[in-house]
Amino acid sequence: MVVISGDGADKTVSTNIHSRPFAAVLSNAKLIVLPDIGHMVHHAVPELVVAEIGAMIGMIAPGRAAAN
């Protein structure tokens, strides 16, 4: 499991209230915290989000992750 979060000044989602505790309760979670980005990480760094999804798919079903 991967949790990607921005640590920018976000009034909607707080990394310390939401992302860090969520990742802490997941076994083997990978937490990626991006500086100066809000909660819309999929808009700010779509290539990172797609790469992390592909990596998770590759771990679950080797050979099925989309090649980029």
- pLDDT above 60 (res 37): yes
What is the pTM assigned to this prediction? 0.81
The C-alpha atoms of residue 56 and residue 27 are separated, in whole angstroms, by: 14
- pLDDT above 70 (res 67): no
- pLDDT above 70 (res 51): yes
Between the two ends of the chain, the Cα-to-Cα distance in Å is 21
Structure tokens at 21: 């505790």
Tell me: the pLDDT tens digits for 8-33? Answer: 878 888 899 999 999 999 999 999 99
CB 6 within 8 A of CB 37: yes
Mean pLDDT (the chain, rounded): 89
Residue 18 amino acid letter: H
- pLDDT above 60 (res 68): no
